[in-house]
């Protein structure tokens, strides 16, 4: 893929590192090299971005990244251990540990032995998922921003726009929602919208008169947001040249798409830092728990960080509902649609939409990456 000098430098550095390692390993009888100093778990640029957006010191950001990486592994084991008693989980930044909700006190000791804290709750994750599915079958009015299962409140949270909360349509929807299970109503400043934008020169890709952002490289192309283009639509690159074609796209219902690329472009396991931080290597797609720090790269507001607020949320855009989204406290603006969400070096998803901006703040949703890969049978390009 045609790219700018910082990206080429990142790739060259990666190849040089591999080449030097191979060369040193092949020198017969060479004296052993001294042990290098321990490398930090993240680049200085990523630490700086987390410090700016999350109010952390450099040491706190480093410590949090390490704790979140450990929590990812604990979460999978805790889910298996708790079985039908599993009530959801989240990362607690204050303790640096994963918290696992369980409906059966008998399961607490085994889950704690894995390295997690526990909380006894009434409703299992499966029961909450069923309650949310009943809401998904309803038609929501414009004043309802969305809904999601929240393990911390052990309920399905329905977000409504503050100015619309007392309207008859919103009140009627909330009443029907409460009849289907444990519901908590929360206010949000605004209803969400998608983040596509009109054509602006020098940005990553265009389709028609819309500018969006590349999500992640996959072998054969890249993934992005579905509302940015329909299947068959031609894509132009940042320099205006023919880049590829939308091979698949889904919106609303989902918000994801796959773009195949033409010869002359190639894929790399890199997310752009836009000069704010060094370009980031992508090493996998392990899903971060609720409460984890997360950062986003987009062609308008570049590199921004925040935390994961909720998973499996139904977002009620004006074009229709989109399901199984992840909500974050990261800001975004027009043109950021389709861009990359990362937690550490793990791909999380592609930017869909939200409310607010990067001057006054807001919230942004992303479509999880693993769902996209599975839908189109794609393989993420990793370092």
Rounded-to-5 percentages of helix, strand, coil across the chain: 30, 35, 35
| Integer Cα distance of 345 and 326 in angstroms | 18
User: Active-site residue among 81, 249, 250, 337?
Assistant: 337
User: 138 with 158: CB under 8 angstroms?
Assistant: no
User: 236 with 205: CB under 8 angstroms?
Assistant: yes
| Integer Cα distance of 86 and 163 in angstroms | 36
Pairing assessment for the beta strands 117-120 and 97-102 based on DSSP bridges? parallel
* Omega within 30 of 0 (cis) for the link into 4: no
SS3 per-residue string spanning 232-279: CCEEEECCCCEEEEEEEEECCECCEEEEEECCCCCCCCEECCECCECC
* Omega within 30 of 0 (cis) for the link into 208: no
Q: Check if 299 is active-site.
A: no
User: 306 with 293: CB under 8 angstroms?
Assistant: yes
User: Active-site residue among 227, 254, 279, 345?
Assistant: 227
> Alpha-carbon torsion 258, 201, 192, 94, what sign?
positive
| Integer Cα distance of 280 and 273 in angstroms | 7
User: Active-site residue among 53, 159, 203, 255?
Assistant: 255
Q: Check if 51 is active-site.
A: no
206 CB-near residues (< 8 Å, 6+ apart): 199, 212, 235, 236, 240
| Integer Cα distance of 156 and 149 in angstroms | 4
Q: Check if 227 is active-site.
A: yes
> Per the structure block, which two tokens stand in for 104?
């059966």
- Residue 120, Cβ neighbours under 10 Å: how many? 14
Q: Provide the annotated active-site residues.
A: 227, 255, 337
């Amino acid at each position: 893929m045609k790219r700018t000098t910082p990206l080429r430098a990142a790739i060259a550095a990666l190849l040089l590192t591999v080449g030097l390692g191979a060369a040193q390993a092949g020198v017969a009888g060479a004296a052993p090299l001294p042990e290098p100093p321990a490398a930090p778990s993240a680049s200085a640029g990523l630490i700086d971005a987390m410090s700016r957006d999350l109010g952390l010191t450099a040491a706190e950001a480093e410590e949090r990244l390490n704790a979140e990486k450990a929590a990812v592994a604990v979460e999978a084991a805790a889910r298996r251990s708790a079985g039908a008693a599993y009530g959801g989980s989240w990362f607690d930044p204050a303790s640096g540990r994963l918290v696992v909700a369980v409906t059966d006190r008998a399961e607490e000791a085994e889950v704690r032995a894995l390295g997690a804290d526990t909380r006894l709750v009434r409703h299992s994750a499966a029961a909450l998922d069923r309650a949310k599915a009943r809401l998904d079958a309803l038609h929501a009015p414009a004043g309802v921003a969305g809904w999601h299962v929240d393990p911390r409140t052990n309920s399905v949270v329905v977000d409504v726009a503050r100015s619309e909360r007392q309207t008859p349509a919103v009140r009627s929807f909330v009443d029907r929602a409460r009849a289907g299970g444990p519901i908590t109503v929360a206010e949000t400043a605004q209803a969400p919208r998608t983040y596509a934008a009109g054509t602006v020169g020098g940005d990553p890709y265009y389709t028609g008169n819309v500018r969006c952002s590349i999500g992640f490289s996959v072998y054969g192309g890249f993934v992005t947001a579905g509302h940015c283009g329909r299947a068959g639509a031609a894509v132009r690159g940042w320099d205006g040249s023919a880049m590829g074609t939308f091979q698949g796209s889904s919106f609303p219902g989902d918000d994801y798409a796959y773009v195949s690329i033409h010869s002359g472009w190639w894929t790399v396991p890199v997310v752009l830092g836009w000069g704010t931080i060094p370009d980031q290597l992508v090493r996998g797609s392990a899903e971060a728990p609720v409460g984890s720090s997360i950062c986003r790269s987009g062609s308008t507001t570049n590199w921004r960080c925040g935390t994961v607020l909720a998973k499996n949320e139904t977002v009620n855009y004006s074009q229709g509902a989109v399901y199984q989204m992840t909500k974050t406290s990261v800001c975004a603006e027009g043109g950021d649609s389709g861009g990359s969400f990362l937690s550490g070096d793990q791909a999380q998803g592609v930017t869909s939409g939200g409310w607010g901006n990067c001057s006054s703040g807001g919230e942004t949703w992303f479509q999880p990456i693993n769902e996209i890969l599975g839908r189109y049978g794609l393989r993420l390009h990793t370092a």
